Structure 1
């Protein structure tokens, strides 16, 4: 398996298929949001590839604010190109490849990139069943989020890098 940056439109379409497979329609980002995230924050738009097949994706945006209550965050309504925090909006692995460490490898690459960029930290919202996964990777539970994006109860997590 390799972790690499998305480089072309086919990569984006393949990554988006995984987003639509993993997230319910109400919670999935749009393809347009995916393209915007890649254009603005391409070093964080990463793909996991096995035998030339994209099996996982992660992406997000940089922010100044660590509070993630705004439901529009999934569609990249608020971001800061010089933000001091990275907000993970997607970590998704195709169901046929889950529980093989792919999400962990994608997350580790995001953390390494944020450290290279000397960011203060990483923030995200996740569903309750994923809290333990992020804690295992050094994140701290912040609180239940006031966001109900997609009709889901989200939970805010953070990782301080400084």
Structure 2
């Protein structure tokens, strides 16, 4: 497995994987990924197997402590010096699930954020995934009042680094 950061050449594959992993109301578009990669391609963790993108994690960095719906649409809000690594998506193609690939990418994002001196990471997830993210050290902060992305109920989860 090869893990790398995103470049413009990866955008079409990223959008295709996203479309397979999320319903249309929740999935980012190829146009949105163009903006995301432009502003924070180094905060995409892409996993390839035999030249095929099979999984990725992405999200920008900000001083805002909570994940908001506005962040999904406005890649320019990224602040490379921000305190918090946000996670907008954890994507694995259906045929590659249950092999630990997403977990490897999450661990890589956590390691990178720690090495970059961030306070920690923040993500939102559906209730059924709360135990999954808890395995990586994320704490459930309850139902988000700042994100209803795709008209879904999201739990905000946070991993805080010891300082």
TM-score by length of 1: 0.92
Whole-angstrom distance in 1 between the partners of 2:105 and 2:31: 22
CA contact 2:47–2:54 (8 Å) conserved in 1: yes
Structure 1 residue runs without a partner (length 5+): none
Shift of 1:20: 0.9
Shift of 1:49: 0.8
Between 118-127 and 71-80, the greater mean CA deviation after superposition: 71-80
Shift of 1:6: 2.1
Shift of 1:132: 0.9
CA contact 1:15–1:54 (8 Å) conserved in 2: yes
Whole-angstrom distance in 2 between the partners of 1:92 and 1:76: 20
Whole-angstrom distance in 2 between the partners of 1:47 and 1:79: 19
Residue among 70, 73, 79 paired with 1:72? 70
Shift of 1:66: 1.3
Structure 2 residue runs without a partner (length 5+): none
Shift of 1:82: 2.0
Whole-angstrom distance in 1 between the partners of 2:22 and 2:35: 19
SS of 2:56 mapped into structure 1: strand
CA contact 1:30–1:75 (8 Å) conserved in 2: no
Correspondence for 1:152: 152
> Does 2:98 correspond to 1:99?
yes
Shift of 1:80: 2.6
